[in-house]
Amino acid sequence: MTGPLDGVRVVDFGQFIAAPAATQILVDLGADVIKVEPVQGESSRLIGIYGEAILRNYNRNKRCIALDLKDEQGIRVARDLIAGADIVVQNLRPGVMESFGLGAEQVRAAHPSVIYATVSGFGLHGPSKYRPGLDIAAQAESGIMWVTGEADGEPQRVGFPAVDAVAGHVFAQAILGAYIRRLRTGEGDTVETSLLEVAVHLQGPNWGEYLITGIEPMRKGNGQATVAPAADVMPTRDGAIVVSAYSVVHFDRLCSLLGLPDVARDPRFDTNEARVRNRPALLELLRAEFAKMTSDEAMTLLTPNGVVAGRISSYGEVRKNPDVEATGIFIDVADPSGIEHTTLGSPWHLGSIPRFSATGAPALGQHTAEVLTELGYAAADIDDLTTAGVVGASR
C-alpha cells in the first residue's frame, strides 16, 4: 500500500511548528520529506522539553540532514537537494533564504516546476515583513487575545499554540493545491501564508458579525456573545460541563430535561435575543440544576436527547477517553536509539492506506550520509564535508 504522495520529494527548511507541521502532513500522505537543519540543530532542539515535544509531534518519519548554509559548500549541497525536489518548504525569517541564494524567485528561476512554499509571521508584502513572528504575536495582533478572557480581566492567550498548529494545516492545504495544479499543467508555483492571516481567518464568525454590525467583539469569558445558552459552563458535583442549546427546539428540550418547562416560556428567555440579554439570570437557573448532578449524570441526560454538551476534561482524562482512543490519534513510535514513546498521529484517515506506521523524529543529521550518497556524493567527499563542519552527522 502506498500513500497518495508516494515518490514525491519534499525539502523542508522549516523550524518550530508551522512549516514542520505542514510537512508532517505530507509525510503521512506518503512523501519523502528531508528535513534540513543547521549543524547545531534547529531552534526546537535548543529549548528543552517544549522543543522536544515539538520535534516529536511534527517530525515523524522524516529524514534529517544537517547543513551549514553559511558555507558555500553547504549551499551547493542544498542546491543539489532542491534540484531533485518536487516541493521546497521554509519558514525562516524573510530574507534569510534569499541571502543564501535559495529564495523563491531564485529557486523557481532555476527549477520552474518546483513548488516553493513559505509561511511567515506577518506576510511577505507588508511593513512587518522582516519582524520575527511567533504564535503569540499573531494571537495578539489578530484580535484573538482581545476576545479571550474574562470581561474584567486581562487579555488571555489561547492555552496552546493554536495559530501555529492551524497554520500547518492551512499551509499543507495550499501546498497540495499547488501540487495538484502541477500534476495538471506541469507548472510549479509559489505558495505563501502567514500566522497573522491564519489567525484572523480563524475568527470567521466574530469577523462576520463585526463586518455586519460594526460592533467590536469584546472579552466576556465563556459564552457566545449573540446566542444563549452557548458555550456556557455548568459546574457539576464533581467537575463541569459545557452546554450549547440556543435553537428553539434544543432550548425547549434542555428545559424539559431539567424539569424547568416554565423557563422556556418565561418572557425573559422565550427568544434567543431575550436569553442573551438575560444570560446571568438564565445561567443561575440552569446551574442550580446541574449542580445537583455529576458530570456523567449530566452527560447521560443531555447527549442521548440531542443536546450538545461536553465534559470539561483534563489531559489525563482526555488520554483515557474511549472516543479519543478509538481515533488512534496517539501512536507509539521508536526514537533513533530504539526507545519507544507515544506521540500524536495526524487527525485524519484515508481508507486507501493503513493507520500510520511511524518512526520517531530523526536525530540531528541522522540521514546526512544517506541523503548525500543518494545525491551522488562519494564517501570521501562526505567525509571531507563532515570534517570541515559543512555537514553534520548524528552521534
- The angle at the Cα of 195, spanning 165 to 114, to the nearest 5 degrees, equals 90
Residue pair 65/365 in contact by the 8 Å Cβ criterion = yes
Annotated catalytic residue within 164, 332, 383, 384: 164
Q: Which long-range contacts (CB under 8 A, 24 or more apart) does 248-256 make?
A: 250/306, 250/307, 250/308, 251/275, 253/305, 253/306, 253/307, 254/229, 254/286, 254/302, 254/307
Please, is 182 exposed, middle or buried when counting C-beta atoms within 10 Å of its C-beta (0-12, 13-18, 19+)?
middle
164 is catalytic: yes
- Among residues 42, 31, 19, the alpha carbon closest in space to that of 169 is found at 19
Distance of CA 22 to the CA centre of its chain: 8
For the chain, the C-alpha Rg in angstroms (whole number) is 25
Report the alpha-carbon distance of residue 317 to residue 314 in Å, rounded. 5
How many CB atoms neighbour CB 230 within 10 A?
Answer: 21
b/e for 66-95, b at 16 or more Cβ within 10 A?
Answer: bbbbebebbbebbbbbbeebbbbbbbbebe
Q: Which residue has the cell 502506498?
A: 2
Residue pair 103/177 in contact by the 8 Å Cβ criterion = no
How many CB atoms neighbour CB 5 within 10 A?
Answer: 21
Which residues are bridge partners to 342 per DSSP? 332
* The total number of residues written for the chain in this structure: 395
Q: Which residue has the cell 499547488?
A: 178
Residue pair 386/81 in contact by the 8 Å Cβ criterion = no
Furthest-apart CA pair in the chain: how many Å? 85
Q: Which three cell numbers stand for residue 184?
A: 495538471
List residues with catalytic annotation.
164
